[in-house]
Structure 1
Amino acid sequence: MSLARLLRVRGDGLDLQVTVMGEGPPVILLHGFPENSHCWRHQMPALAAAGFSAWAPNLRGYPPSDIPHRRGDCALPHLVRDVLGLVQATGFPRVHLVGHDWGGIVAWAFAGAHPELVERLVVLNAPHMQSFRENIWRGGQFLRSAYAGIFQLPWLPEAALSAGGFRLLRSMFGTARPGAYSAADIDWYVETLGHDGALSAALNYYRANARAGAMDMARAHVRSQTLVIWGERDPALSVRLLDGLDRYVTRLRVQRIPQAGHWVQNEAPGEVNDALLGFLREGPP
């Protein structure tokens, strides 16, 4: 089995810690909230065994990556430039890009802004923001997204999520299929966000990108070959967000996983790995 190694990679004005496993064409794996690179623990060995190099950063604000302390430092353009630094660090002219949740939104934005750098794109339970805009009033999506409005409040979300040993944050993983997470997995995520300033930085992804026009980069048309993997039992994101997606993604394939929810790569790792590897192994169209 390929051994993992840790790198420090310069992003947009700060450093990211990246776990790398394997040799070969790079696959950059972007996590979401409130996870970190550990969420790809099932995918990285499979990618390495298949002849790829898996690059899983902790995104900005998630230690041991640097923590930005200004809200605006978590705006989407900074996140996209962080990925640009990762692509350059691989030494390859193009990469495969995979993202889940906030990592998926960043992946949509990066693929739209830098199509010349993306070989193939895979997005897991993260909406293309133009589709989100058009479908927000369908499938109860507006109510499902209410938490993002609450996250706009100062200090209260931090206090609520961290109270009682991060009891509320831990409960977010309770929506997953039984067995998807061990207590140690959840402890890993909580420990990361327990660092001074980390939870605020993670919430600043929501705050910095709530203003009008802030998400325009994630509304761009995507021309890369794209696979969307969607756990249909996601309590936060309706399957209706897939409706009309092919209007904004030129070469789109959708893999629905009915028995999984939002944490799809952890709830159904075998199905996700089969879909992911099958897609990446196809080679040029």
Structure 2
Amino acid sequence: MSEYRQISTEAGTFDAVSAGPPDGQPVLLLHGFPQAAVAWEHQVDVLGHAGLHAVAFDQRGYSPSVRPDEVADYQVDALVGDVLAVADALGWTEFDLVGHDWGAVVAWHTAAAHPGRLRTLTAVSTPHPSALAAALREDEDQRLRSQHVPVLKERSAERRLLADGAAALRQMFEYRIPQSAVDEYVSRLAEPGALTAALNWFRAERWNVAPDPVTVPTMYVWGGEDVAIGSTAALSCGKWVNGPYRFELVDEVSHWVPQEAPDLMTGLLLDHLR
């Protein structure tokens, strides 16, 4: 079973869930928007039971103790710095990195900038940022799928997402994951400053800055019914991986792969990590 813990860094103390022996193969998992580390709880439990040391942490803005006020504090370099700082605090010189949604964006950037720290990369739902950027330039379908991004950067986004019992925030999950999980995410983001911090990831991102191609062994997992990421971006992802690459299409699954298809996702992850 996973346990809740805290990880202290110079940036502050991150909340986390972990499982497995301290000397097990280290695996760090990054959640996306609008979720939290518990999105990976099933995978953390299974990986820990298999003898790996799995840790998922609430990232910057999601951990109450690491919630800076300035938008600039949420640029991707700071988010990558948090990944390395958490790994350092855990005593990991090399580790496997897993990310979903925004967590995948951070994972891609980490792998590109610090390949020597990673054993493998697993990205779920969100492809290499260059693949997504190219699709946004060339594919009308992807532009339509990404229409939510500028809306989430608006000043009124917090009010609109939390209005009417957070109806708009709840609808993001498309009724694809358990209601109890949605309730927990909404409760967390309704805390003072929490949703603003999460939205600052969008507001801070410089979308014209993309990482270099990735050289570490990489698996990219995409749900065939993902409403945010279309086939153009997903199928071209491998163009930005120069190392061993594995693409996994999960049919009849949406953007929320880790919680919508937890056993399938965990099986793919275990196979890739081994």
TM-score range for the pair, normalised by the shorter chain length: over 0.9
* TM-score, structure 1 normalization: 0.90
Change (3 A) 1:10 1:134: same
Return the offset for 1:139.
6.1
1:92-145 deviation per Cα after TM superposition (whole angstroms, max 9, x unaligned): 220000000000000000000100000010000012111112112326000110
1:150-175 deviation per Cα after TM superposition (whole angstroms, max 9, x unaligned): 12211x11110011221110111125
1:4 corresponds to which residue? 3
Q: Which of 216, 222, 233 is matched with 2:225 structurally? A: 233
Cα distance in structure 2, aligned partners of 1:225 and 1:58: 25
* TM-score, structure 2 normalization: 0.94
Cα distance in structure 2, aligned partners of 1:56 and 1:79: 14
Change (3 A) 1:66 1:212: closer
State the SS of the aligned residue for 1:9.
strand
1:175-219 deviation per Cα after TM superposition (whole angstroms, max 9, x unaligned): 52xxx31x321111011111111101111101100x464x33xx3
1:159 corresponds to which residue? 159
- What letter is aligned with 2:190? G
Cα distance in structure 2, aligned partners of 1:199 and 1:16: 17
The structure 1 segments of at least 4 consecutive aligned residues displaced by more than 3 Å after TM superposition are none
1:149 corresponds to which residue? 150
State the SS of the aligned residue for 1:221.
coil
Cα distance in structure 2, aligned partners of 1:19 and 1:32: 15
Cα distance in structure 2, aligned partners of 1:200 and 1:5: 24
- What letter is aligned with 2:141? G
Change (3 A) 1:49 1:212: closer
Instruction: Confirm whether residue 113 of structure 1 aligns to residue 113 of structure 2.
Output: yes
Identity, % of aligned positions: 34
Change (3 A) 1:170 1:3: closer
2:16 corresponds to which residue? 18
2:41 corresponds to which residue? 41
Unaligned runs of 5+ in 1: none
Change (3 A) 1:191 1:63: farther
Unaligned runs of 5+ in 2: none
State the SS of the aligned residue for 1:40.
helix
- Which residues of 2 match residues 4-153 of structure 1 at below 5 A? 4-10=3-9, 13-23=11-21, 24-136=24-136, 137-138=138-139, 140-153=141-154
State the SS of the aligned residue for 1:91.
coil
Return the offset for 1:59.
0.6
Return the offset for 1:223.
0.5
Change (3 A) 1:265 1:3: closer
Cα distance in structure 1, aligned partners of 2:259 and 2:154: 30
1:233-271 deviation per Cα after TM superposition (whole angstroms, max 9, x unaligned): 011111221233222102210011011110011111111
